[in-house]
Amino acid sequence: MPGILVFCETKDGKLKKVSREALSIGRKLAEKTGGDLAAVVVGSQAASLAADAGHYGAKKLYAVESAALDSYTTGQTTAAVKQAVDDFKPSVLLMGGTSNGRDLAPRLAARLGVGVASDVDQLDWTDGKLRARRSIYSGKVFGRVEISGTPAIATTRPNAFSAEVVAGGGAADVVKVSFTPVEVKSKLLETKTPEAGELTIAEADIIVSGGRGLKEAQNFSYIRDLAHAIGGAVGASRATVDAGWIDHQHQVGQTGRVVSPNVYIAAGISGAIQHLAGMSSSKHIIAINKDPEAPIFRVADLGVVGDLFTILPALTEEVKKAKAH
Amino acid sequence: MNSVVCISQVPDTESRIKIAADGKHIDEAGLKFIVSPYDEFALEEAIRLKEGKGGDVTVVTFGPDRSAQALRECLARGATKAMHIKGDSVDADSLGVARVLAAAIRTLPHDIVFFGKQGVGTDNGLVGPMVAELLDVPQVNVVTHLEVGDGKLTAHREIEGAEEIVECSLPAVITAQKGLNEPRYASLKGIMAAKKIPIDTRSVADLGLTDSDVFHQRVTFVGLETPAEKSGGRKIDGADPSAAAQEIIKYIREEAKAL
């Protein structure tokens, strides 16, 4: 029976949203393959995620319990997940396209001699093979790929699949995976969180992005105020990053992040081809720009021709009012 | 301190991409090709290391004839040697490319192997870590700061909303993120000097690999499509900011079901 295994990451004792999304699409694939859906979680508290994984359809939870796996290192986590793969022998291995997922998937694939499709936004199982859609050239083109080899590996783009709780989904059965930490050549010295509490564009449901129309660095406060009020992340155009107004982590587009949030608000962004490529798969796009001919309006579902310096504060106030109700 | 920098040649980010008649490749006619933007940060870091500690910077690429031009550009900026493995890399998946590069790197002195964090083309971001695994060396991905000491390095790695500081032994694979440094332009002197450096050209077979190790395996494109052109939605006048704000709120609530 071709099973589906999903490597799940945790945050604050819960499965990450992107891991729940991967489990949900994994469940749909499992219905087609007729196999089981299993999750693999690593770290000393791994087994405690059985209920969480079960809610999203996992029948089994492969728990690789070791304190050596509590923080991510390429060497340990690759060895641990490989152990789970060897035990469960899945046809498909999925993981969220996070920093760690993107670090782990290629390393593990090379060890297993199999291929990976990165950052996929559609997945299907047809004719005994995994098929995926992924955007290439930063979203200018979609590529449909077929992934052969066992397991076929894919990393899922955050927000591309919905996380769906399964009605009556009980806790997954815990299968303990025996694991002896390996000798590794790298170690994590420190984790720095400079912008504690700030959402990142990769996983946010709502992104408020600013461009050159902000005129100067300090005016990013207009963007931050709205993002804060609405519960979204701060995005930025390449021009503002190159000008040093904001850190590169915020950059949306071809040399930044390709994002697909539910709501994308672009203010003062004219819409260079590289930027459009990086955000036009967002589900609902709102553009605010004083130039009615700005290319951003070609992809916007709602375009507002006007002055961002008056519209953004008004919008921030309206959002606060709406949230207060 | 010897570095290898693996680069890929990609269409200029300004390009509009058209799909070729076979539906599986892009149409290269009229496209301008550049060194993939993240690879520029990788190259710059290697050149700075060489300037500080001596050694060679060998730039390596796997690709068709046109890729030689990308190697020339890297030599002009300060790489000291170049290797071109000729082949239709477009028909190789990431592991195929990684096998070719790993085989090439084994023949070269390397303390650090640099990549861009991903090629700005197929956008996989897989080859660097795969090469690290094939060479059995540690990797640090998406690096924004690097310090190289005696037999080890310390790298700052960008993760969601935070930064990790990772130490590892050499040799190692580093994939470069924007912000690692400010890449230099080639000087006229560099461009002239680069013309005199021979490019070591090999085939996949020269590296002891067969076509079936590399091409048309594992992950294959079955078709390319252009995203549906968005027609552009409603456009409203924002002369009255609060009316515009209310219109936006209504849209977010009713269409996006957010708030």
Chain B positions in Cβ-Cβ contact with residue A70 (cut-off 8 Å): none
Average pLDDT over residues B97-124: 96
Which homologous superfamily is B3-214 in? HUPs (3.40.50.620)
Query: What's the pLDDT at B49?
Result: 97
Q: 3-state DSSP call for residue A244? A: coil
Give chain A positions within 8 Å (CB) of B179: 247-248
pLDDT grade for A1, boundaries at 50, 70 and 90: low
pLDDT at A194 (0 to 100): 65
**What CA–CA distances, in Å, run from A192 to A156, A261, B159?**
26, 26, 10
Average pLDDT of chain A, as a whole number: 94
**B241–A192 CB contact, under 8 Å:** no
- Report whether pLDDT(A196) > 70: no
- Over range A213-229, report the average pLDDT: 96
CA distance B45 to A182: 31
The residues in B 157-216 lying below 8 A from A, measured between CB atoms, are 157-169, 172, 177-179
Q: Does B147 touch chain A (CB under 8 A)?
A: no
Give the pLDDT confidence score for residue A323 in this predicted structure: 86
Tell me the pLDDT tens digit for each residue of A270-302.
Answer: 999 989 989 988 999 999 999 999 999 999 999
Contact criterion met (CB < 8 Å) for B236 and A311:
no
**Running DSSP on this structure, what letter comes out for residue B13?**
T
For residue range A55-89, list pLDDT tens digits in order.
999 999 999 999 999 999 999 999 999 999 999 99
Q: Which of B157, B217, B221 sits opposite A144 (nearest CB)?
A: B221
Q: Is the pLDDT of residue B30 over 70?
A: yes
Query: What's the pLDDT at A197?
Result: 62
What's the CATH architecture for A4-176? 3-Layer(aba) Sandwich (3.40)
Position A324 confidence tier, pLDDT thresholds 50, 70, 90: confident
Average pLDDT, chain B: 95
- C-alpha distance from B110 to closest chain A C-alpha (Å): 17
Amino acid occupying residue A283: K
The percentage of chain B sitting over the pLDDT mark of 70, rounded to a whole number, equals 100
Q: What percent of chain B has pLDDT over 90?
A: 92
DSSP structure class, residue B187? P
| A&B contacts, CB < 8 Å | 289
Measure in Å the smallest separation between the Cα of A62 and chain B Cα atoms. Answer: 24
Residue A154 has pLDDT above 90, yes or no: yes
Q: Does domain A206-324 have CATH number 3.90.79.10?
A: no
Report the distance separating Cα B133 and Cα B125, nearest Å: 14
Residues of chain A with CATH 3.40.50.1220: 206-324
Task: Name residue A196's amino acid.
Answer: A
CA distance A233 to chain B (A): 11
Residues of each domain in chain A carrying CATH 3.40.50.620: 4-176
Tokens encoding A300 = 């916007």
* Residue numbers in A near B139 (CB within 8 A): 74, 103, 107, 186
pLDDT, greater one: A229 or A195: A229
CA B176 to chain centre: 8
Q: Inform me whether the pLDDT recorded for B135 exceeds 60.
A: yes
Looking at CA atoms only, how far is residue B103 from chain A in angstroms? 14
Does the distance separating the beta carbons of A106 and B239 come in below 8 Å? no
CA distance B51 to chain A (A): 26
Q: Does B23 touch chain A (CB under 8 A)?
A: no
Q: Which of B139, B159, B212 to mutate to test the interface with A (most CBs of A within 10 A)?
A: B159
Q: Do B163 and A147 touch (CB under 8 A)?
A: no
What average pLDDT does the segment A241-246 reach? 94
pLDDT of A2 > 90? The answer is: no
Q: Hey, is the C-beta of B26 within 8 angstroms of any chain A C-beta? A: yes
What's the pLDDT score for residue B160? 86
Please answer yes or no on whether A251 and B178 come within 8 Å at the CB atom. Answer: yes
* Per-residue pLDDT tens digits for B178-200: 989 999 999 999 999 999 999 99
Query: Is A140 within 8 Å of B242 when comparing Cβ atoms?
Result: no
Whole-number pLDDT of residue B48: 98
Mutate to test the interface with B, among A140, A230, A264, A273 (most CBs of B within 10 A): A140
Write out pLDDT tens, residues B66-81.
999 999 999 999 999 9
Contact A42, A49 (CB under 8 A): no
Q: Token match 């449901």: residue?
A: A205
- Domain layout of chain B by residue ranges: 3-214
More confident residue, A44 or A197: A44
